[in-house]
Amino acid sequence: MERQQTFDRRSFLSTLSCSLATVAITPLAPTQHLSAGTESQDYHAPASSPRSCWLDVCAPLIIEDAERGLQSEIILTSDTFTGAHGHEDGAEATEYEIYLYDAAGQAVGKEGVARRLTIPAMQTTVIPVRELIGETKSFWGGMKIRLRPRSREVMHTSDLFSSAFVRWQMPASFDNVHANPDPLEWQNTQSYYYSMPFPRLADYACTFSLFNPYDQPSKGEIVLYDQSGQRVKAMRYELKPHASLLFDLNAGSLVSNPRLARAPETSSSKTIQGNGLLAVTNDEGTAKSFGYLFIKQHARERFSVEHPIHQGIFKPRPAAIPFDGEQFKAKNVLYSPLLFRARRLGDITLESRFYLGTGLPLEEALWLYPFATDEKGEVAWSAMKDDRLAEQLAARQLERGIIRLATNQSCALDFTRLTLPPNFSGGIGVAVSPDTSHTLIKVEVRVPEWGAHAFTHFRPGLRSARNYQKPRQRGGLASDYIVSGARIARGKNGIRFDEVIAVMNIDDQGIEGRPVVELFGPRGLVARLPLGTVPPFACRHYLLSELFKGEINYEPLSLRLVDERATLLMSALHLDYERRDIALDHGSDRFSTFLDYGCQ
């Protein structure tokens, strides 16, 4: 067996001109914002808005197909409340309005509203889409959800990334993804750049759904770029108000029906075979749109779903050289606690791959320096120390051991082909220059024994987390993270559903984390489970079933990670032993959009 190599943390830090977390970033001009909810600081509403208001999120792919057993559900967390314990007395709640539209833009329900409801704080609620569409046997389209809190004081929704989720289920597969924020500040007819990296089309059949939630039409262009940034396929689109479309990346064309559960006619791509970057740009003067990427295995009913991110359109600055001697001058560090290399978990193995894309970068080149930390907080792997890294990159994408990606370029890191030793689980950080969005770095986790895969993306760095800690409505907690769509059940033959809770300490003050995970079901709080200690920069993984004693059967669940002193982040790996499938939730700080998007 290969011996795990670790690097002295101080020696590793000497390769960066900043700590792993604290970096000085020049605020961006208002016309150069990166994306809704990213690391940019181009807009901040007051900590307390003058009134409660409705804020919107979008779920651009809702499917019901009784013949194929494909179902959609909406999971509502109602996670806005005042203070650290404001959910406990039942005095606070969230109002929801659900707007559902078929692919042609026709509204479901009276007066265009499919459902109105009010949910007490932290009472996780699941609504089957079948209840909304009635006797219709098949349906596909898009959804807009409006929400506003009822709280002790006048305030707006605390986090648009964890307020609503969609879960898709089939007999052999499932997945869940949060609805995408559409704050008032972004509801205009400017031109936006909407992009994400995608995996190898030789391995997956990828279908992109695009939904226009507005009363105005949306027109624009869908473009596919290969790994080197070459423009491979471009297609104009036009969407009527509230309408949806589907774009087949493998064929490079629109499709009229969501054949997402069926094997494609051919597994060969008519566009490209490898990984690349998808970009959507709406025309100036028309509405933007929202999309999910449905990532399905060829000829198998295994799927996962991930989404792009909006950013403003601007001309990138000339590329800078981010080195000071041997030091890499990072502008930010982004994280994920979902790094696995041949990690055994009972009868299954966990493996990770990562997809890095630039989108439209602030400069003409984006530099990325990946590294891995273990359960003790030691640096277990560094891109600068791995000679195998160059084998996975296109020409001129590696310089001084740092990945360099030009506009619209992308790359993939498969850790089965790198030098990280087997049976590893930990966290991955990516130091970047210039700043970029955490959503442009995707995570794929696979279980080879099950033939299962799942996608999600990275988490923001410490500068953002420090910003999230400012509102007094938070109650002084250093960490307050939400994951939803969790399940845990033990049957006669063993565990049916379980959760891997991934926790990473990104605090730069040397503070040891002592987190507690709280479980919330349809009636509120189920349990509080202490997780022990998490050293600085450490990443630790916990099986939820091992934290429980006795019989357990809880669904649905929202998980809340809290710590009074240390700044932590949490993601979750959903394990379905009946379907032999997995799903991911990257998790979200409960105040990650509170200061960014208000009622203005």
Query: What mean pLDDT do residues 320-328 have?
Result: 91
The DSSP element (H or E) to which 132 belongs, if any, is helix 129-133
What is the distance between the alpha carbons of residues 25 and 333, in angstroms, rounded to a whole number? 11
Give pLDDT tens digits for 332-371: 999 999 999 999 999 999 999 999 999 999 999 999 999 9
> Residue 300 has what pLDDT?
86
* Per-residue tokens: 432: 């970047």
Query: Of the candidates 366, 51, 60, 328, which has an alpha carbon nearest to the alpha carbon of residue 194?
Result: 60
Percent of the chain beyond pLDDT 70? 89
* Per-residue tokens: 336: 């994920």
Give pLDDT tens digits for 69-113: 999 999 999 999 999 999 999 999 999 999 999 999 999 998 899
- Does 454 score more than 50 pLDDT? yes
Cα–Cα distances in angstroms (integers) from residue 249 to residues 254, 277, 578, in the given order: 9, 11, 31
- Does 264 score more than 70 pLDDT? no
> Residue 597 has what pLDDT?
86
Query: What mean pLDDT do residues 180-191 have?
Result: 93
Query: Of the candidates 1, 8, 2, which has an alpha carbon nearest to the alpha carbon of residue 380?
Result: 8
pLDDT winner (highest mean) among 130-139, 286-295, 323-332: 286-295
User: Quick one: pLDDT band at residue 548, thresholds 50, 70, 90?
Assistant: confident
- Pick the range with the lowest mean pLDDT from 36-50, 198-212, 373-387: 36-50
In order, the DSSP letters of 3-63 are PPP-B-HHHHHTTBSS-SS----PPPPGGG---TTSS--S----SS-SS---EEEEEEEEE
SS3 per residue for 369-428? EEEEECCCCCEEEEHHHCCCHHHHCCCCCEECCEEEEECCCEEEEEHHHCCCCCCEEEEE
User: Quick one: pLDDT band at residue 10, thresholds 50, 70, 90?
Assistant: low
Query: What mean pLDDT do residues 413-434 have?
Result: 97
Query: What mean pLDDT do residues 491-514 have?
Result: 94
- Does 1 score more than 80 pLDDT? no
Mean pLDDT of the chain: 89
| Straight-line distance from the first to the last Cα atom of the chain, in angstroms, rounded to the nearest whole number | 59
Query: What mean pLDDT do residues 404-420 have?
Result: 96
User: Quick one: pLDDT band at residue 67, thresholds 50, 70, 90?
Assistant: confident
> For residue 310, which amino acid is it?
H
- Pick the range with the lowest mean pLDDT from 19-33, 342-356, 545-559, 578-592: 19-33
Percent of the chain beyond pLDDT 90? 80
Query: What mean pLDDT do residues 248-274 have?
Result: 72
Query: What mean pLDDT do residues 246-274 have?
Result: 73
- Ranges of beta strands (E only) in 398-475 are 398-399, 402-406, 410-414, 424-433, 441-447, 452-457
What is the distance between the alpha carbons of residues 600 and 581, in angstroms, rounded to a whole number? 43
Query: Are the C-beta atoms of residues 468 and 589 closer than 8 Å to each other?
Result: yes
What is the distance between the alpha carbons of residues 369 and 555, in angstroms, rounded to a whole number? 39
- Does 7 score more than 70 pLDDT? no
* Per-residue tokens: 542: 């916990």
Query: Are the C-beta atoms of residues 561 and 515 closer than 8 Å to each other?
Result: yes
> Residue 25 has what pLDDT?
27
User: Quick one: pLDDT band at residue 299, thresholds 50, 70, 90?
Assistant: confident
Strand partners, 312: 192
CB-neighbour burial class of residue 473 (10 A; exposed 0-12, middle 13-18, buried 19+): buried
In this structure, the number of other CB atoms found within 10 A of the CB of residue 83 comes to 17
- Pick the range with the lowest mean pLDDT from 22-36, 474-488, 564-578: 22-36
